[in-house]
Amino acid sequence: MPYTDPPMPDIVLATLNAKYIHASFGLRCLLANLGDLRDRAGMLEFVIQQQPLEIVEAVLAQQPRIVGFGVYIWNVTQTTEVVALLKKLRPDVTLILGGPEVSFETDGQPITALADHVITGEADVKFAEVCRRLLGDADTPVCGGLEGGQECQPHIIAAGLPPLAQLASPYDLYTDEDLRHRVIYVEASRGCPFTCEFCLSSLDIPVRAFPLEPFLASMQRLLDRGATQFKFVDRTFNLHLPTSTAILQFFLDRWRAGLFLHFEMVPDRLPEQLRGLIRQFPPGAVQFEVGIQTFDDTTSKNISRRQNLDRLEDNFRFLRQETGVHIHADLIVGLPGEDIESFGRGFDRLVRLGPQEIQIGILKRLRGTPIIRHDDAYRMIYAPHPPYEILSTRDIPFEQMQRLRRFARYWDLVANSGHFTTTLRLLWQDDTSPFARFLRLSDWLHARLGRTHQIALHVLAQALFEFLTTELALDHDLAATTLEDDWHRAPGRAALNLRGLSSPASRRSLDRSARQSQHARATPSSQAVSKKNV
């Protein structure tokens, strides 16, 4: 049966999601493992755009004794304000924090100073233990050690790694509303075997797997209830081949229209037994998130990243030529030792491999990661507030970092959105670097529009037409026809006539699945940038 909150729970689990579509997997794991306290607990999910007072009102309306908040890099600022208000209004309510943002470097964080307790690490079991003790002994003091000889709950509580085979499944806690309107997050394993210094997953060694049969039984129950979107949060889904092949075969045997699977893949590990299964999925049904991050050998060594680039490129060619997999590839700006030129070379190399999306991320200084060892040698300067993005390095000064930040944003609007898939190929010629040409477009768009957000789609289309015909001196009819063909690939869109005045267009933003549909409408020849066009 789907989960429903109990009336007036003693324990409220809460978090602020980035968007409504993102259901909190962490809260459901905690709730599922409360054991005998589960009937005394409820769950509240908010979004970061909500007013803090509204969130506090909703939490206090439950009259809880304990409130637990999941804290992440994207919500710590807003959650800090919520926690401060809660402690002002109800200092008697015990506040417990957990999540990656408060699991490391807890000293000096305003939010951890406000909380009664902070659980660091995987809190599936530890949260229940703390709540059981607090509810069983109302007089247990809150302190950092021993007080008057009486044992008390410490402020910072380290959670050990729970045995995954003993954890209760969280999947029945997805409601019917979740299944209809939200992404369903699932995990077959935890941890990562790699040691990339910018990533928190590098601290989670070894990789641990959930028992396969109970996991697949949970997936079957979700399918039976009508779930269609499954996003695996495993960092290396294809690491253990027997497990990954079993999961792919499971979904292939139960395939139905509308089903969508997302996996994060090790880019250089795709043996034939996986390839044979992947070939059988229909186009657009599977998305692989492939973290490349850098093609520069020196930078890879600086961040302790290992990958076989030749094998990676062969896997990309297979995926683009022999499957309908949607590839979401990641590159990072600002890694120690990477300059604009080496990043540009890597970007060009990736463009030639033809992924449908290239996500250009700005390096973030995540708490607990060893990337800080490079701060002095490479003059790494990060923003002091979340999401702690890199501002400048020895090799990329602030002004150039800003150019690359705009480059990333405009690339998302023009290329990743899927609106201008064919038009994108007009931007570079045989002897032109895609990076150099798009950086030129990015600089021009910023000078022309003066902003990187809140750009109406028809305004962007008109700007692209102007750039192609004035800055690149392309034929007007070729540019107009290509843009209009891209424009009308989306059904129901108002007419766009670039030879005259264009009509108003939809300002609707695309979520991940809608973007994928947009890319899927493109013909196979226009989805990838062929070698002869770069």
Q: pLDDT by residue (tens digit) across 161-179?
A: 999 999 999 999 999 999 9
Is the pLDDT at 313 greater than 50, yes or no? Answer: yes
272, 145: one domain: no
- Answer yes or no: do 210 and 321 share one domain: yes
Give residue 151's pLDDT band: very low, low, confident or very high (50, 70, 90).
low
Q: Pick from 111, 137, 164: which residue ends a domain?
A: 164
**Does 103 reside within a domain?**
yes
Whole-prediction pTM value? 0.88
Residue 526 has pLDDT above 70, yes or no: no
Say whether both 244 and 384 belong to one domain.
yes
Report d(CA 221, CA 334) in Å as an integer: 43
Q: Where residue 141 sits, what CATH number does that domain have?
A: 3.40.50.2300
324-376 per-position pLDDT tens digit: 999 999 999 999 999 999 999 999 999 999 999 999 999 999 999 999 999 99
- Same domain assignment for residues 256 and 387: yes
My answer on whether 441 and 338 are in the same domain is no
The yes-or-no verdict on residue 509 having pLDDT over 80 is: no
471: containing domain? 416-534
Same domain for 275 and 360: yes
Q: Is residue 96 part of a domain?
A: yes
Domains held by the chain: number: 3
Only one residue has tokens 């979107």, namely 229
Whether 5 has a pLDDT exceeding 90, the answer reads no
Report residue 67 as tokens. Answer: 């409130």
| Domain shared by 428 and 333, yes or no | no
Asked which of 164, 196, 229 is the last residue of a domain, the reply is 164
Do 371 and 482 fall into the same domain? no
Residues 24 and 124 grouped into a single domain: yes
Strands 390-392, 229-232: parallel, antiparallel or unpaired by DSSP?
unpaired
- Domain membership of residue 321 (yes or no) is yes
Question: 516 vs 466, which has greater pLDDT?
Answer: 466
Residues of the chain with pLDDT > 90, as a percent, come to 81
In this structure, the dihedral spanned by the alpha carbons of residues 48, 51, 55 and 56, taken in order and rounded to 10 degrees, is 130
Buried b / exposed e along 5-36 (16+ C-beta atoms within 10 A):
eeeebbbbbbbbbeeeebbbbbbbbbbbbbee
Task: Give every strand in the sheet of 184-186, ordered side by side.
Answer: 184-186, 229-232, 260-265, 286-293, 326-333, 357-362
Tokens 């506040």 identify what position?
95
Domain end residue (candidates: 396, 428, 454): 396
d(CA 320, CA 326): 8
Do both 386 and 465 map to the same domain?
Answer: no
206 and 159 in one domain? Answer: no
256 and 390 in one domain? yes
CATH number for the domain that contains residue 314: 3.80.30.20
